[in-house]
Structure 1
């Protein structure tokens, strides 16, 4: 056990991993600080609604459009059966999509494929732009894609890796905070049409159980993604 701890500490003190740790701490501050969280939450909403949209298409539903609002809420509209696996999977996908995107990005970063991660996110944003149906949503997607494009085009490889790691950390940590916000809203009776409540009505499984599932996926993604970013050798 002592040897395991020493090896982990040695890897953590590697210069690349120290940079990843700093990126993680910055992401934590950005998520916990209300002043930075409110504007940056739009990134989480984009990933959340993107998750709904992708699963809706994969499950055979027709995607009608995505709306992103200035209060950082969002809405993905699809048509198809109002019940059944397709609808359940579509509603289920939003919250874990944020954490799983961060997890996938962390794997790419630690595999020295940070440019793949950045350009992959840009490609997804371009596709999402085709489905956005309101001006604020278009602006949010363009600003997010523009920032990623600037990093991908102008930044050196080391800065690309650092920015990609920061984005991964932000998604991994930021994927959990909306669940806490949803829990507070539900306790005040202000979230009757939340994804969890719609799933409860469709399946008969309590909304709290869906929230617990999302929380466990988010925590597992954070632990695994954090391990990859901090302790795996940089290649």
Structure 2
């Protein structure tokens, strides 16, 4: 029991102790790496799984906060996902749950950028690891289980064994990736909608629930994600 307490105390100390901020070269490299991951399509197809995890996690979190009962989350190999919650089929809770997905990664990135820019990048990594652990309990398919487990294991290796300077650099890169990576799915969403391939998208679900056209919801998604990227980018820019 004493050993477990010592480990938890050590983790708490690491997560809550401010680390020195990286120099301008590291900060700019983190931004460049994140941008390349988002812009280079073959790399993006793999990395997009992280955005999907954040997307579905946001659906699940808001559903619970609105009093809905979370029934499970599925993540698919084509980087799509599905979050099922039970409760009223209409009303504020359902609208908020549907809205949270596309803006979730950007909002998470903004929060990560705020903490990271104040020296708590290591704490951001531990918070994300805890969130992945909680999310794992709600996964209901094998690919989703594999996706969250691999992401969590990689993050645990970073937080437990790497030097704090590397941890800060990775937190900086992750923050940039969430901020920039939140925007591309919104663009892809509208591209799919224009081809008639996204009739069950979050925007179209919200259109059916509220009567507001789906394209307006896509625009709102875009404004929120771009806004988060701009504000978060200013926090992270050296």
TM-score (norm 1): 0.91
**Correspondence for 2:112:** 105
**Correspondence for 1:140:** 147
Alpha-carbon distance between aligned partners in 1 of 2:237 and 2:220, rounded to the nearest angstrom: 25
Q: Using the TM superposition, give the Cα deviation of residue 15 of structure 1 relative to its aligned residue in structure 2, in angstroms.
A: 6.4
Matched ranges for 1:1-235 at <5 A: 16-231=23-238
Unaligned runs of 5+ in 2: 1-20
Q: Using the TM superposition, give the Cα deviation of residue 17 of structure 1 relative to its aligned residue in structure 2, in angstroms.
A: 2.6
Maintained 8 Å contact 1:17/1:229? no
**Correspondence for 2:18:** none
Alpha-carbon distance between aligned partners in 1 of 2:234 and 2:27, rounded to the nearest angstrom: 11
Q: Using the TM superposition, give the Cα deviation of residue 189 of structure 1 relative to its aligned residue in structure 2, in angstroms.
A: 0.5
Maintained 8 Å contact 1:176/1:218? yes
Maintained 8 Å contact 1:103/1:225? yes
Maintained 8 Å contact 2:22/2:168? no
Alpha-carbon distance between aligned partners in 1 of 2:109 and 2:216, rounded to the nearest angstrom: 23
Alpha-carbon distance between aligned partners in 2 of 1:23 and 1:200, rounded to the nearest angstrom: 37
- 4+ residue segments displaced more than 6 Å: none
Matched residues, number: 218
TM-score (norm 2): 0.90
Maintained 8 Å contact 1:65/1:131? yes
**Correspondence for 1:4:** none
Alpha-carbon distance between aligned partners in 2 of 1:137 and 1:129, rounded to the nearest angstrom: 8
Alpha-carbon distance between aligned partners in 1 of 2:115 and 2:159, rounded to the nearest angstrom: 15
